[in-house]
Chain A
Amino acid sequence: MNTLVIDTSTDRTTAGLVSDGVLVVEKFHDDPLGHSEVLPKLVAEILLSNPVIDSVVIGMGPGPFTGLRAGIAFGRAFAFARNIPWRGVSSLDAIASEINSTDFIVATDARRKEYFYARFTDSARVDGPHVALRQVVEELGIEMHTGFPTALALSALQGSIAQPLYIRRPDAYPAPKGVTFRPATAMDAVALHALEKVIYSGEDPWSLAQFKEELGAGDRYYLIALFEGEVIGYAGVMVAGDVCDILTLSVLSAHRRKGIAREMLKRMIDWSRNRKVDAIMLEMLVGNREAEPLYLSQGFRKIAERADYYGPGKPATIMRKELK
């Protein structure tokens, strides 16, 4: 029984042929991009000398989205066309199965300074897969391995996973139903001030006068998010010379982690891009674990820190996203 094995979950594109538990041939190519171009070539080489395939095994990740899907789309279509069964397996489990240790983490590159990772104890996955900032995974202090899944290890795994292991949510995901956005006007100052006092209680909220001045000033764009008629978030950006500066991005805590801040941030970026500025910048309290992944995912990079920016002992990280 010939099994065609495919994996595109890491920088390595792998294709192999395993026959009754024995590796016949394995081909791979290392390139973080181009999985979709490399894979058909590797498979074509394998088919030249081994035209008969009885089943397909596909590494389902976790892995960066586009490359991962190239392997799954190819493998499923191949199985469909040959009218043979296919089976999905965990790429992280395949890497772990070849590591000789009792308690360890397997981590693969998730890009954006993050790892996909899972923990294995006595040959069994006990935690994960997850995605997290590399630093966070490294700070766990557990023996860590990286690597690539081999055809033999993938084919030896039991069971079947039907869906790709994306782990990470899409870059943009649906805001909850009923959330609408509109530009803020001077009429909204009172509502925004009321919300500001709730969100930043004890953290030096803007005054009503500040809101009135901001909403009336030029070269600015303020956006508000509404849910069932209530203002639940707001954001503002201004042109400052060659760059735009995000002034605020705030969402009521009950409505966080639903993509509202992300949607507002994207609109701030779109507005800034239309102003033909070089870049868009923002400041963030150092170590704001909630906001940082959002900004990184939208292409912002840390460029500096400012001590005591938000008051004594509260430094700010300055982040910048190029728009040219």
Chain B
Amino acid sequence: MKSEPLVLGIETSCDETAVGIVRGRVLLANVISTSVEEHAKFGGVVPEIASRAHLEAMQPTIAGALKIAGVALSDIDAFGVTAGPGLIGALVVGTSAASGLSLATGKPLFGVNHLSSHVAVDILDNESALRPSIGLLVSGGHSSILRIGDMVSDVETLGATIDDAAGEAFDKIARILELDFPGGPAIDRLAKSGDATAIDFPRGLTRPSDNPWDFSFSGLKTAVSRYIQSAPSAVKADIAASFQEAVVDVLVTKALAAAASCGIDRLVIAGGVAANSRLRELATARATAQGVELRIPPMALCTDNGAMVAAMTSLALSAGAAPSAVGLGADSTSGLERAIWR
């Protein structure tokens, strides 16, 4: 019996240079090299610095993943790479390196969608098949609600942020509150000692006339800055808790409304913001009440990683999808019109 295909996936869409190796649905290695410390110096991801770091880290990260998986590059049956969406200069390092590996070995290459990969990672080391799901992606780079009928052929974006990403909002508010970067963990920590009901911050795009699945966080950001200006002696922890509650409430409400509307009983939350303790708490409580199965992959598979790209590629292989053409192009603004690059 032929064993499951061995797949190596590369992810470079933002500031993590990441390589994952899977055999079928079994995770063998998930190595991440991040330039987050360099970005911390000026409170956000700087594209050019991320791209330079990707080039530096690419080979050591591939070599590290091979070593951990205990396989040789010549054993790999297929390569996968994030082809979009993401920072264009960062994506190009990944697609170029992946093209080099594919041409050198003669093994197929699949350019895959970063957003769907975030959900696809849930197949790894998991008994249950990937049933139709709603994906809630929340990170510094994206805030979207996806509907996944079939991972390879039926995925659509129901809604996305029209301005800041959820994680970005956390970073910006952390900056205003003079907390550390990245802002998510800092606010989560501070919020634990604050009163989430102290200030009633606005919930973006929740009027009946708004697109029910889109997000907006810039109004909330402005409201928080105004509040701090008008009440300079306010308790920071209360501001952090109330801000966090406003973000998390909207995320969970919209994702579960999408599940109900699509008749789907499974919700996958992924992206760095999935680490937020209040988001987990509220999502668990409300999903249970609605009879929706909630899945949050382990954190190492939740933030940007290479295993999710390998998992998505593995799904493409088992579905019999054709590999991407030689010289696949990175697409920084790609939506979900393509899960696999032609």
Chain A residues in the interface with B (C-beta under 8 A): 34, 36-41, 43-44, 47, 65-66, 69-82, 164, 166, 170-175, 177, 180, 182, 259, 263, 274
Contact = CB atoms under 8 A, between A and B. Distances in A.
Interface stretch (B49-57, B145-153, B289-297): B49-57
Nearest to B39: A174
Given A36-B329, A174-B38, A175-B42, A73 B88 contact: no
A70 B48 contact: no
* In the A-B complex, the 7 residue pairs with the closest CB atoms: A77-B100, A81-B104, A170-B48, A78-B100, A40-B99, A174-B41, A73-B96
A48 B183 CA distance: 51
Contacts of A44: 103, 326-327
Interface string B114-157: 00000000000000000000000000000000000000000000
B96 A71 contact: yes
A36 B49 contact: no
Given A36-B329, A66-B92, A73 B100 contact: yes
Given A41-B326, A65-B89, A73-B58, A170 B100 contact: no
A270 B78 CA distance: 42
Contacts of A180: 178
Contact of B89 (A66, A72, A274): A66
A66 B46 CA distance: 14
Contacts of A78: 100-101, 103-104
B51 A69 contact: yes
B97 interface: yes
B141 to A, nearest CB: 17
A69 B51 CA distance: 8
Contacts of A71: 96
A323 to B, nearest CB: 14
B62 A70 contact: no
Contacts of A166: 52
A37 B36 CA distance: 28
A322 B92 CA distance: 27
A74 B327 contact: no
B237 interface: no
A180 B222 CA distance: 21
Given A171-B48, A172-B48, A36 B55 contact: no
Contacts of B211: none
A72 B55 contact: yes
B103 A40 contact: yes
